[in-house]
Amino acid sequence: MPQSISLTNAQNTPAAIDLDGEDKSWQDMANCLGVDPDLFFPERGASTREAKEVCKGCVVRDDCLEYALANGEKFGIWGGMSERERRRIRRQRALARAAAAAPARTATA
């Protein structure tokens, strides 16, 4: 069952969602302004292709993706990526941080 955030988001595209306390300047240049929000918050199992097509040429794609990653957006297409794709990025970054924080191993003979 979607949480309240998805119900709010489903009424807008990522470009039109009110981001409390966040830098919203990137939203003004978003490709998805005025696009059908349902494309960006599809029903489970529905195609994300059309939303991703809109995102392809979006000049604020990185800002949008980083916002979604930083805020743990669990639903919808942000920065041209689905939640599953964003989860993969978060995992990769967490692994990279862990590897960077781990003490360097010294070779033993």
Which residues would be at the binding site for ligand SF4 (CB under 6 A)?
A: 13-15, 30-32, 40, 54-55, 58, 60-61, 64, 77-80
Closer of 34 and 103 to ligand SF4 (Cβ):
34
Q: What is the 3-state secondary structure (H, E, C) of 58-92?
A: CCCHHHHHHHHHHCCCCCCCECCECHHHHHHHHHH
The least distance separating ligand SF4 from the CB of residue 42, rounded to whole angstroms, comes to: 13
CB of 44 to ligand SF4, least distance (A): 19
Query: What residues form DSSP beta bridges with 81?
Result: 78
- According to DSSP, residue 95 is labeled H
